[in-house]
Amino acid sequence: MTPLPAAALRQLAQEARFDLCGFARAEPIPAEHLGRWLEAGYAADMDWMGARAAERLDVARLLPGARTVVSFACNYLVDDAAAAGSPIARYARGRDYHATLRDRIRAFRRGLRARYPGVETYAGVDATPLMEKVWAVRAGLGHVGKNGCLITREYGSWVVLATMVLDAEVDAYADGMAADRCGPCRLCLTHCPTEAILPGRMVDARACLSYQTIENESEVPEPLRAALGGTVFGCDICQQVCPLNRAPMPTPDARFLPRPVAGLTARELAGMDRATYDALVPGTALARAGYDGLRRNAAYTLGAARDAGARKVLARLLGEHEPERVRAAARWALEQLDGVAHG
Ligand code: B12
Ligand code: SF4
Ligand code: SF4
């Protein structure tokens, strides 16, 4: 088959509403990066990261005859005024990005098949066994910063990624990888409240507040709880301090606009009843934590922030009908308020 024209594919990507798109040869990924991370236990209990390691390292195991990997990025930074002070990480404030990017992948695939019938594809967003940042680097979209995030020239690190494998070649691949623009800076390392960022652009998920508030379904380890004062879901600190994010480029993309749930305070999230949850959370990335996970997180946040006005809502979370992880978080939070004047 003659190589597909990269320019035409870029056009399709733009029509599908991806902000960036690049092409890499589908060559295996050296095992050392993922291997070191898994062996050190940095994956915490995300067993799914190790379970399909062979596929992560070689896309030909996902799509026989793989030749090209297309990396896509969408800028999700919106004007912050709408959700200033939200305790929810920016990527999770709008419609669930997985759904948005999956829709765009489908649109791209439809366009590709209409023009080039017979091309086989394998694609995913986040949950598929693809090392999306490595492909983004190889496709020339940016570099992986010391904070472990893919940083683009156009939008900094405020991008989410989608990745597609093709069994066809394209006529132009990225010519070399994007330069490492971190230089001597270490701001993300010094500002991470839990020292989760390690040398070698690795993040120890066990210490990362993003992991603790999104993936960890049991109790947050005691030494990390005090760092949760500013966040209920996800963590943006190592991106907020990054100088490469200093020229923000807000997107007009309505799908990333904050939904009403992003306007809730930690107190409101802790006190949310089931009906409010059902009205506000499904369709956003927050659904991953679930009703109890979000209230557990919010209780930790209130305790870490020593929010004296939160006593009432925390006391309600001690109710016998509440699951143990919510009660335990509320108990801990109330202990933090011992000696704090009533608000
Ligand atoms: C597991 C995971 C997590 C874990 C671990 C994070 C980590 N850095 O490994 C936790 C739960 C902590 C997490 C948190 C977040 N995540 Co996350 N996560 C993933 C996931 C599923 C896999 C990442 C992975 O493979 N890790 C294993 C390590 C070993 O691989 P790595 O991260 O690629 O890092 C190595 C390589 O990049 C290598 N490397 C660097 N440059 C190069 C160049 C070449 C050529 C090669 C070969 C290798 C190489 O060096 C690194 C260290 O070895 C991806 C989705 C996916 N399928 O890829 C999303 C993903 C990385 N997450 C994403 C997001 C948005 C986040 C958060 C920002 C969310 C938030 N606000 O709370 C935080 C950021 C935390 C941070 N500082 O990294 C986005 C990243 C967007 C971006 N701009 O980078 C992704 C891509 C999801 C998506 N589809 O958009 N995440
Ligand atoms: S997301 Fe937060 S906790 Fe995780 S590495 Fe970045 S600053 Fe540290
Ligand atoms: S804060 Fe500094 S070291 Fe960290 S990713 Fe940004 S530029 Fe690189």
Q: Is 327 in contact with 304 (CB distance < 8 Å)?
A: no
- Ligand 3 atom closest to Cα of residue 241: 1
Choose among 286, 283, 229, 268: nearest CA to 90. 286
* Phi, psi dihedrals of residue 21, rounded to the nearest 5°: -155, 140
**For a pLDDT cut of 90, what percent of the chain falls above it?**
92
Burial class (CB in 10 A: 0-12, 13-18, 19+), 191: middle
Angle 97-98-104 from CA coordinates, rounded to 5°: 90
Report pLDDT digits (tens) over 53-70.
Answer: 999 999 999 999 999 999
Q: Is 264 in contact with 272 (CB distance < 8 Å)?
A: yes
The CA-based dihedral angle spanning residues 227, 125, 147, 239, taken in that order and rounded to the nearest 10 degrees:
-70
Report pLDDT digits (tens) over 30-52.
Answer: 999 999 999 999 999 999 999 99
Joined together, the tokens standing for residue 224 give: 């990390």
Joined together, the tokens standing for residue 37 give: 């991370």
Mean pLDDT along residues 93-103? 98
In the chain, count of helices (H) and strands (E)?
15, 8
Q: Residue 343 above 70 pLDDT?
A: no
CB count, 10 Å around CB of 283?
Answer: 13
Angle 236-239-245 from CA coordinates, rounded to 5°: 135
**Beta partners for 68?**
25, 166
Joined together, the tokens standing for residue 255 give: 């799908």
Q: Which CATH class is domain 264-343?
A: mainly alpha
Extents of the domains making up the chain:
6-166, 264-343
Mean pLDDT along residues 287-297? 98
Choose among 131, 127, 126: nearest CA to 34. 131
Q: What whole-number distance in Å separates Cα of residue 43 and Cα of residue 37?
A: 7
Q: How confident is the model at residue 247 (pLDDT cuts 50, 70, 90)?
A: confident
Torsion sign (Cα): 33, 39, 44, 45: positive
Measured by CA distance, the residue closest to atom 87 of ligand 1 is 126
Q: Collapsing DSSP states into helix, strand and coil, what is residue 73?
A: strand
Q: What whole-number distance in Å separates Cα of residue 220 and Cα of residue 233?
A: 13
* Phi, psi dihedrals of residue 143, rounded to the nearest 5°: -120, 160
- Ligand 2 atom closest to Cα of residue 231: 2
Choose among 95, 74, 207, 187: nearest CA to 141. 74
Measured by CA distance, the residue closest to atom 7 of ligand 3 is 182
- Helix (H) / strand (E) containing 240: helix 237-240
Question: Active-site residue 175, yes or no?
Answer: no
- Helix (H) / strand (E) containing 49: helix 47-51
Pinpoint the alpha helices (H) of 262-323.
266-270, 274-280, 290-304, 311-316
Report pLDDT digits (tens) over 219-246.
Answer: 999 999 999 999 999 999 999 999 999 8
Q: What whole-number distance in Å separates Cα of residue 244 and Cα of residue 155?
A: 9
Q: Residue 249 above 90 pLDDT?
A: no
**Which of 58, 80, 103, 126 is the catalytic position?**
126
Q: What share of the chain is helix, strand, coil (3-state, %, to 5)?
A: 45, 10, 45
Mean pLDDT of the chain: 96
Task: Tell me 28's DSSP state.
Answer: P
Report pLDDT digits (tens) over 269-278.
Answer: 999 999 999 9
Ligand 2-lining residues (CB < 6 angstroms): 147, 192, 194, 196-197, 203, 208-210, 235, 237-238
- Residue 177's pLDDT is 83
Measured by CA distance, the residue closest to atom 6 of ligand 2 is 238
Q: Is the CB of 135 under 6 A from ligand 1?
A: no
- Helix (H) / strand (E) containing 255: none
